[in-house]
Amino acid sequence: MFECAIAYSETELCDTVFPTLRCTVEKGWSDMLVNVQPRTSDNTVRPEDEFRARCRALALTASASGRIPNQADLDELTRASRALARRGVPLRSLLHTMHVAAAQVLREKASSGDAGVVDGAVLMVSVLEAVGTAVSSVYLDSYGPGAGDRERARELTESMLTGDGECRRLADRAGVVIAAEYDVVSLSFDVPAFDEGSGGQGVIDRIEDEVVRSDIEGMLISLNGRGGVVLRPVGALGSVESLVGRIEHLLGRDVLATTASAAVDDIPNAATHCRELVALARGLNFRPGVYRTADMALEFQLTRPGPGRARLRSLIEPLGGSPELVHTLQTFISTEANRRVSAKALFVHPNTVDYRLKRIETLTGVDPLSPVGLMALHAALVVDALSRTEGDAPPPGDEVAEAS
C-alpha cells in the first residue's frame, strides 16, 4: 500500500489518497464498535475544541519528531475522550476529528515544500492507529459489556427513589423483579469530586457492576463521587452491614451509611429520611459504619426546632472556658461512661478523669456519673454541635487537643 502511495504527487496524496484512507479507517473503527455506541449517538454533537486541539498537537509533534505517540503522549487525549464519551458524543465524531487533524498537518507539510511529505503520510497512518486505539478503548470501557446493565440499574434506581411511576416499566426492560420491600441504604464517603482524569468514575462503575451482578437478585444501586443509594431486597442473604463492608473494600476507604426498610411506594420518603440521617451523622463526626433510626433517635429529634434546644445548650455554657472538660465529657460519653478507657484515650490518669467529671458537675449542676445527668449532657453536646453546623456561635472549647 505504501509503495502505491509513492506514485502519487504530493497534492494528490493529501487531497485524494489520504481522505480515502481516512474514510476507510474511520468506517472500520465505527463498524467494529457499532454495538457499543452511546444511546445519544443519533444526536450529533461536535467534539470539544480541546479534543480537536490535542489531536492536532499530537499530529504536529509526531510529524516534527518522526515518532509515534507513546502512552504518556496519549494520556491527555484519553482524558478528553472519556469526558466526551460521558456526554454522549458519538465515537464517529471523534474519529472524524482525529483524521481531519492529521490531514491538515499533512497539507501544511506539503504546502511548505517539505520533501518528506510521503514519509509523513506513512507515519501519520501509524499515529492514527495509536490514537484510534486509545480513543476506541475509552468507548469500549464506557459502553462495552456490562455498561448497559449498569445504566439500566441506575435508571431504575433513580425512578424508584423519585417515585415517578416508571419503575415497573423500567424493571421489565431491565429484567429485574421488583421486591415488595427494600432496605434503603444511603451511603456517604470522602472521595474527592472526580475530575475527568482521576479514574474515580471507573471505580464507581466497578462498584455498581459488582453490586448489580451480585448473588442478591434485584439489588439496585446509584452512586456518585460522594455517596449514593443502594436498594437491597428485604430478606436477601447477608446483611446491610456486609453489603457496606463489600463497598468499603472495593472503594478502599471507610463508608458512613444509614438504612431504613420501606415498601416500594414508600421508598422516596425513606430515601429522604436516610439522606437526612447520613448528613446528620457526617455533621456530628460519627464513626464509619451502618446506623438506623433507632441508633440516632436522640440526635435526629434534637434537629427539630423548639425551646428545648436552647435550654439544653445552656447546660454546657459554663464549660466554655474549659476545653479540656468538654473533651473529657465527649470522650466519657463515646466510651460508654468507662473511666479507664476514657483515661487511656485522653492519655491521662483515671483520677484526672474523675477530677474533671467532678468539675463538670460543679460548673453545670448536672452529674455526669448519673444515667439521667449523662443523657442530658450528651443531648446538650449534640444540640451545640448541630447549632454550630447551622451557623450559630462557636463551640464551648475549640482548643481541645492542646488542652488535653
pLDDT tens digits, one per residue of 230-259: 999 998 888 999 999 989 888 888 899 999
Q: What DSSP line would sit under 109-133, residue for residue?
A: HHHTT-TTHHHHHHHHHHHHHHHHH
Give the span between the Cα atoms of 361 and 123, in whole angstroms: 83
Report DSSP state, residue 197.
T
Q: What is the pLDDT of residue 306?
A: 74
Which among 27-31, 268-272, 295-299, 394-398 has the top mean pLDDT? 268-272
Sorting pLDDT into bands at 50, 70 and 90, what band is 8? very low
Q: What is the pLDDT of residue 41?
A: 43
Average of per-residue pLDDT across 194-215:
67
Sorting pLDDT into bands at 50, 70 and 90, what band is 200? low
pLDDT of residue 136 exceeding 50 = yes
Give the span between the Cα atoms of 124 and 63, in whole angstroms: 8
Q: What is the pLDDT of residue 402?
A: 31
CA dihedral 47, 80, 203, 257 (to 10 degrees): -70
**Dihedral sign for Cα atoms in the order 364, 370, 373, 375:** positive
Q: Is 338 helix (H, G, I), strand (E, B) or coil?
A: coil
Q: What is the pLDDT of residue 142?
A: 56
pLDDT of residue 396 exceeding 90 = no
Q: Which residue has the higher pLDDT, 368 or 84?
A: 368
Q: Is 314 helix (H, G, I), strand (E, B) or coil?
A: helix
pLDDT of residue 117 exceeding 80 = no
Least confident of 115-119, 170-174, 217-221, 357-361: 115-119
pLDDT of residue 198 exceeding 60 = no
- Whole-number Cα distances in Å, 382 to 82, 297, 299, 341: 44, 12, 7, 22
Give the span between the Cα atoms of 220 and 211, in whole angstroms: 7
**Helix H or strand E segment including 222:** strand 220-223
pLDDT of residue 385 exceeding 70 = yes
Q: What is the pLDDT of residue 16?
A: 53
Angle between helices 49-65 and 117-143 (to 10 degrees): 140
pLDDT of residue 71 exceeding 60 = yes
Q: Which amino acid is at 44?
A: T
Residues of the chain with CATH 1.10.10.2840: 304-390
Indicate whether this model's pTM tops 0.85: no
pLDDT of residue 345 exceeding 80 = yes
Give the span between the Cα atoms of 110 and 119, in whole angstroms: 11
Q: What is the pLDDT of residue 146?
A: 53
Is 304-390 a domain of CATH 1.10.10.2840? Answer: yes
Q: What is the mean pLDDT of the chain?
A: 78
**Residue 246 phi, psi dihedral angles, 5° rounding:** -65, -40
Q: What is the pLDDT of residue 339?
A: 92
Least confident of 165-179, 183-197, 237-251: 183-197
Closest to 138 in 3D by CA, of 192, 202, 193 = 202
pLDDT of residue 47 exceeding 80 = no
Residues of the chain with CATH 3.30.70: 146-298
**Residue 261 phi, psi dihedral angles, 5° rounding:** -90, 145
Class of CATH domain 146-298: alpha beta
Q: What is the pLDDT of residue 271?
A: 95
Q: What is the pLDDT of residue 324?
A: 94
